[in-house]
């Protein structure tokens, strides 16, 4: 199959909508990462997403809507808290889980009786969803297990020959996937299953909010997890990623200098650093690190490194999302100095 990469003109959006309504899969830009989109109400089309990604069939997809009617059409009941959150954060990087209606096929929900929904904040993708007039099921547009794509080139690197069209909307603003939440206590409390740019601190202004224990931890072998995506080693380049936890810049440098050679190792660090091995800079503040993380992980492979050391990011605010992705990219290899 030939994979076209096209700018999001009106003609291309119409062409993309035609492909999706005929059961094909199209890569779309969002404010978080690029998505691999199919008609969320068409089980066979959604099955093609799993095939293109090599994604385990029990890992459910998020459906993307462009108006609230699509939400009511897809889910059984919407707690008042969810409406308040939608009003504040949609369109935006917040995904909410609801009991699904039968119109959402089990291929989309990974066999669960719930479905995850969000309204993305990207004008071209909102137009595309409205042109299709159905929600679009869309996971991140990477091969399963690899770092998520934040540019059309990243998508092309992973999906060339597997899908007919990549809509190139430029670089993604946020850079990490959406915050995924579910409601507990009769819809009055919030649990964060996957952290993102809508933080615990922001959600706590609306209702009592806590992080699921798997946000920072590896689920036990055979544990039944609420969000199946957290089970898998994830977001990983081929290079081995190792997180170094330390309060001191000097001890980080000393450890890295003593444990690496400059031909095969790199560090992913906030700024340029005087150290014996190459540095891939990913920014100093949480937002910059979220924006640059997946690109930095892909760069370790592009530059042929076998191992990269990363200083542990903050574990508050958007740093929570950066750390959550990094520990999975590192397959939970953390060294405390």
- The nearest distance, CB 284 to ligand AMP, in angstroms, is 26
The piece of 22-30, 47-55, 135-143, 314-322 that touches Mg ion (CB under 5 A) is 135-143
What ranges in 123-186 are assigned the alpha helix state H?
A: 123-132, 152-159
Minimum CB distance to Mg ion smaller for 66 or for 142 = 142
140 binds Mg ion (CB under 5 A): yes
Question: Binding to ligand AMP by residue 106, rule CB under 6 A?
Answer: no
Q: Of 7-36, which residues contact ligand AMP (CB under 6 A)?
A: none
Distance CA 234, CA 59 (A): 12
Q: 27, 49, 62, 243: which one contacts ligand AMP (CB under 6 A)? A: 62
Which one of the spans 101-109, 132-140, 179-187, 295-303 is the region binding Mg ion (CB under 5 A)?
A: 132-140
- In the complex, the smallest distance separating the C-beta of residue 296 from ligand AMP, rounded to whole angstroms, is 19
Residue number with CB closer to Mg ion (168 or 177):
177
Asked if residue 112 binds ligand AMP (CB under 6 A), the reply is: yes
Q: Find, among 179, 150, 155, the residue nearest to 165 by Cα.
A: 155
To the nearest 10 degrees (0 to 180), the angle between helices 319-329 and 286-302 is 20
Binder to ligand AMP among 73, 114, 259, 264 (CB under 6 A)? 114
Q: Which is nearest to 117 in space by CA: 23, 182, 28?
A: 182
Residue 311 C-beta: closest distance to Mg ion, Å: 24
Q: Name residues contacting ligand AMP, limited to 158-197 (CB under 6 A).
A: 177, 180, 193-194
Q: Minimum Å distance from CB 272 to ligand AMP?
A: 32
Burial of 335 (0-12, 13-18, 19+ CB in 10 A): middle
Which residues on neighbouring strands pair with residue 210, listed in sequence order?
Answer: 191
**Do residues 164 and 157 lie in contact, with contact meaning Cβ atoms separated by under 8 Å?**
no
Q: 306-316 burial string, b = 16+ CB within 10 Å, else e? A: ebbbbbbbeee
Kindly state the smallest distance separating residue 54's Cβ from ligand AMP, in Å. Answer: 12
Nearest to 241 by CA among 175, 299, 314: 299
Cα Rg, the chain, nearest whole Å? 20
Smallest separation, CB 154 to Mg ion (Å): 12
- Would you state the structure tokens that stand for residue 321, as one six-digit string? 């999302």
The region of 9-17, 83-91, 221-229, 289-297 touching ligand AMP under the rule CB under 6 A is 221-229
Evaluate whether 207 touches 185 at the Cβ level (below 8 Å).
no
Contacts of 213 (CB under 8 A, 6+ apart): none
Residue of closest CB approach to ligand AMP: 229
Q: Which positions lie near ligand AMP, rule CB under 6 A?
A: 59-62, 97, 109, 112, 114-116, 139-140, 177, 180, 193-194, 226-230
Q: Which positions lie near Mg ion, rule CB under 5 A?
A: 140
């Amino acid at each position: 199959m030939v994979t076209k990469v096209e700018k999001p003109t009106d003609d291309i959006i119409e062409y993309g909508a035609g492909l999706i309504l005929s059961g094909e899969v199209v890569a779309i830009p969002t404010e978080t990462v690029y998505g691999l989109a199919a008609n969320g109400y068409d089980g066979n089309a959604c099955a093609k997403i799993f095939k293109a990604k090599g994604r385990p069939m029990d890992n459910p997809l998020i459906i993307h809507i462009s108006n609230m009617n699509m939400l009511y059409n897809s889910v059984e009941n919407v707690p008042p808290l969810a409406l308040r959150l939608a009003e504040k954060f949609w369109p935006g990087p917040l995904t909410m889980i609801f009991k699904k209606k039968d119109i959402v096929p089990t291929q989309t929900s990974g066999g669960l009786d719930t479905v995850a929904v969000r309204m993305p904040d990207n004008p071209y993708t909102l137009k595309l969803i409205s042109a299709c007039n159905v929600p679009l099921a869309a996971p991140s547009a990477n091969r399963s297990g690899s770092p998520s794509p934040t540019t059309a080139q990243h998508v092309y690197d992973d999906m060339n020959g597997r899908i007919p069209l990549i809509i190139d909307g430029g670089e993604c603003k946020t850079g990490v996937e959406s915050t995924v939440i579910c409601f507990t206590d009769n819809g009055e409390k919030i649990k964060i299953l996957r952290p993102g740019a809508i933080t615990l601190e922001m959600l706590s202004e609306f209702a009592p909010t806590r992080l699921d224990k798997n946000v920072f931890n590896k689920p036990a072998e055979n544990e039944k997890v609420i969000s199946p995506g957290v089970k898998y080693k994830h977001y990983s380049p081929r290079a081995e990623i190792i997180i170094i936890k330390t309060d001191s810049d000097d001890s980080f440098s000393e450890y890295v200098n003593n444990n690496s050679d400059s031909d095969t190792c790199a560090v992913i660090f906030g700024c340029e650093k005087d150290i014996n091995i190459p540095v891939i800079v990913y920014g100093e503040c949480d937002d910059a690190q979220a924006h640059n993380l997946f690109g930095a992980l892909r760069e370790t492979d592009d530059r042929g490194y076998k191992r990269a050391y990363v200083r542990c990011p903050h574990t508050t605010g958007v740093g929570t999302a950066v750390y959550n992705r990094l520990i999975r990219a590192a397959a939970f290899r953390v060294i405390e100095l």
